[in-house]
Structure 1
Amino acid sequence: MPLNDESSTVAGRPWRATLRRSLRLVNEFRYEQPDPARFYSAIAHDSVGQLSSYTPLAGSMLLDVGGGPGYFRDAFEEAGATYFSLDADAGELAGMGGDIPERTVLGSGMELPFRDSSLDITYSSNVLEHVPEPWTMADEMVRVTKPGGLVFISYTVWYGPWGGHETSPWHYLGGARAARRYCRKHGKSPKNVFGTSMYAVTVKAGLEWAERQTAGQVLDLIPRYNPAWSHWMLKVPGVREVATWNLMIVLRKK
């Protein structure tokens, strides 16, 4: 469980990993494609509360790896962080208003264009499953974080209910088959194409990476969107892959 589940506030209320929060966020997943601003804004404000339960955001230099069009920017800047965003797609970076905002970097998450130990917080939400070498990206995030700084990584689990993103739940029959079905039904390819822009990343792989890396102290390994009382599921192989929507890994850089 988080080190302090009630140490931060969102809209004046303590942040808690409750069932009510989980149901609200699960409902927001329905809007990822038709209304991304609604979906990502909800996740961003929840992220501020969750991240603040580990470290103060005010005065920090924060890098959002895979920040895309900047849905998280306002939420983190309102909390007092100096926000940097990185994405590999210039179109994604300019998506909200057509202009690329300041402190925005075009580059690869697998080779971050930042110096060693240069940032207070490195953050990535629902990006690791879109990277062909996800644990290289995780290593890079640790590298650029200052000693004592925070590394926050969360990703959508392949065998979870939303593992195929807009092709779910047909991804359980295989990513390629799910993509073909999506094409037949909608007359276009899905945004997230299995094997090209979406990959099968598991809970098991995340737990193994957290155990083998040596540069950070592991603070938490939890199902990000699940209520606190259900975090026991990570101890059960098989169950954890299906019941976990999203795995969250939090490290303190040594």
Structure 2
Amino acid sequence: MRDPSLRRSAALFRAFLRERTDPGHCYRLLARDAADQIERYAPLRGAVVADVGGGSGHFTAEFRRRGARAWLFEPDAAELTAHGPPIEGAVLADGYLLPLADGAVDICFSSNVLEHVADPQIFLSELIRVTRPGGLIYVAFTNWFSPWGGHETAPWHYLGAERARARYRRRTGQAAKHTLGVNLFAVHIGRTLRQVRARDDIAVVTARSRYAPFLAEAIPRLPGVREVATWNLLLILRRLP
């Protein structure tokens, strides 16, 4: 599927709607899409890839299928086995302190993790540290004011996180998985872009709406509008010497 395109965005959206009932299909499709995005900038065949926070390993499996030497680093043991046995070689590790040497990987990958860490800048610094000079860092995250920013409580998070959690409990009879300030944090597009552009150890290759069917690179350039319309920001960064 061409990126961006209406057909691609529609296919991804349909898969997201089926995430709870068919997570395997959803994450396999998302993994193929992410791999396609990476290969616009660097080949996966022969590359050493760190998949940081990749859950049960769908992304790692796709990278390996394309010839990469890919390894999963996941801090949550429950996530490793959420969709079956853990993928071979998976490592239980904190993204703040990866068990990797400086410059150990060609590509460092993180999909929808940044909004789940209390200090995104420390997390990003660790991704950059383990990437070799000239290598790529792929970081995608759901920003707080995105229509999906509250995750399972969206879009009611626009009326306040606690109100959204209370509504979720009333509607489903169970507590929401995510709690703002505990395992979900309000990350914003403008602030994140300013922070990465201020660094002298990386160059921004692209900053784009990950799923948009058109104007994918234009949307994040629009202050205010981008905080809602970006939906999910994709940053591809290059590690500088």
TM-score, shorter chain, exceeding 0.5: yes
User: In the TM superposition, what is the alpha-carbon distance from 1:230 to its structure 2 partner?
Assistant: 4.5
The size of the alignment, in residue pairs, is 240
CA distance in 1, matches of 2:216, 2:115: 23
Check conservation: 1:33, 1:166, Cα contact below 8 A: no
Residue 85 of structure 1 aligns with an amino acid whose one-letter code is: L
Letter in 2 for 1:240: R
1:143 aligns with 2:129: yes
CA shift digits 1:182-208 (9 cap, x unpaired): 111111112222221111111112201
Q: CA deviation at 1:233?
A: 2.0
Tell me the alpha carbon deviations over residues 46-73 of structure 1, each in whole angstroms, 9 at most, x when there is no partner: 1111111010000011011101111212
C-alpha contact 2:56 2:87 (8 A) present in aligned 1? no
Provide Cα deviations, 1:113-142, integer angstroms capped at 9, x if missing partner: 211100110000111111111121111101
Q: Any gaps of 5 or more consecutive residues in structure 1?
A: 1-12
Q: Does 1:110 align with 2:96?
A: yes
Secondary structure of 1:192's aligned partner: coil
User: For residue 9 of structure 2, what is the amino acid of its counterpart?
Assistant: S
Q: Which residue identity is paired with 2:73?
A: L
AA of the residue aligned to 1:226:
A
Do structure 1's residue 93 and structure 2's residue 63 form an aligned pair?
A: no
After superposition, residues 18-57 of structure 1 pair within 5 angstroms as 18-57=5-44
Q: Greater shift after overlay, 55-64 or 126-135? A: 126-135
User: Tell me, what secondary structure is at the counterpart of 1:241?
Assistant: helix
Bigger shift: 100-109 or 158-167?
100-109
Check the 8 A contact 2:206/2:217 in 1, yes or no: no
Q: Is the 8 A contact 2:208 2:216 kept in 1?
A: no
Q: Is residue 136 of structure 2 the alignment partner of residue 162 of structure 1? A: no
Query: Is the partner of 2:132 in helix, strand or coil?
Result: strand
- Aligned partners of 2:205 and 2:238 also within 8 Å: yes
Letter paired with 2:230: T
Retained in 2: the 8 A contact 1:83–1:103?
no
For structure 2, the residue ranges without an aligned partner over 5 or more in a row are none
Taking the TM superposition and a 5 Å limit, the aligned residue runs for 1:239-254 are 239-254=225-240
Kept in 2: contact 1:69–1:94 (CA 8 A): yes
Output the TM-score relative to the length of structure 2: 0.94
Residue deviations 1:202-225 (CA, integer Å, cap 9, x gap): 111220122112111210111111
